[in-house]
Chain A
Amino acid sequence: QKEVEQDPGPLSVPEGAIVSLNCTYSNSAFQYFMWYRQYSRKGPELLMYTYSSGNKEDGRFTAQVDKSSKYISLFIRDSQPSDSATYLCAMGNSSASKIIFGSGTRLSIRP
């Protein structure tokens, strides 16, 4: 079993829809939880970062962490075609310098 599991998709939704992306993990020592966005032929870029359970909001993006269920989510409101990308969850234990990535979910927003 992988330490981090992520549905690879692809996920296709119409513009304006709410998108929900999820990851599960098995290592209860993880304390740092991140979401990265990766456009085609580009490197990943950090979207959201949290080290506690609960919700964190940044504009149209909300990251949710449930440590009791070992489950993290990323919600995108009012999705735009420019949000079309691969979204990677990532987790670390003692610091954010050693992180484990999920396999990524490919998201497509239809105009």
Chain B
Amino acid sequence: EAGVVQSPRYKIIEKKQPVAFWCNPISGHNTLYWYRQNLGQGPELLIRYENEEAVDDSQLPKDRFSAERLKGVDSTLKIQPAELGDSAVYLCASSLRDEQFFGPGTRLTVL
């Protein structure tokens, strides 16, 4: 069974540029999560989807971050414009019940 797929794996951009991350969850998993992991820290939830609905986006900085999950499968997380402090690893996870399965993450560097 394929795991959670994320792309790109690495991204380097200059500040004020836009960037987008893509996630393909494990087939059949209706819950999808986006986390941000800063260096030396644990993941912090940005947004959680149940199928197509964003049920928890309280930690998503909505002035510059947006996300969508079309048809309840793949998801895209966007930052526009990026700031220096956005440099981090962006993790996608999916779950069917309690256990969350994580992808390898996208390492973003903002210069």
Interface residues of chain A, those whose CB is within 8 Å of chain B, are 4, 6, 8, 32, 41-46, 49, 88, 90, 95-99, 101-104
Contacts and interface: CB of A to CB of B under 8 A. Distances in A.
A96 B99 contact: yes
Given A88-B42, A98-B56, A104-B42, A43 B98 contact: no
A97 B99 contact: no
B102 A44 contact: yes
B42 A46 contact: no
B31 interface: yes
A23 to B, nearest CB: 10
B51 interface: no
A104 B40 contact: yes
Chain B, interface residues (CB within 8 Å), range = 20 to 34
Given A43-B91, A46-B100, A97 B40 contact: no
Given A8-B40, A101-B43, A96 B48 contact: no
B39 to A, nearest CB: 10
A95 B98 contact: yes
Contact of B105 (A6, A32, A43, A96): A43
A45 B102 contact: yes
Contact of B42 (A45, A96, A98, A101): A101
Given A43-B105, A103-B40, A96 B98 contact: yes
B93 A43 contact: yes
Contacts of A95: 98
B48 A43 contact: no
B14 interface: no
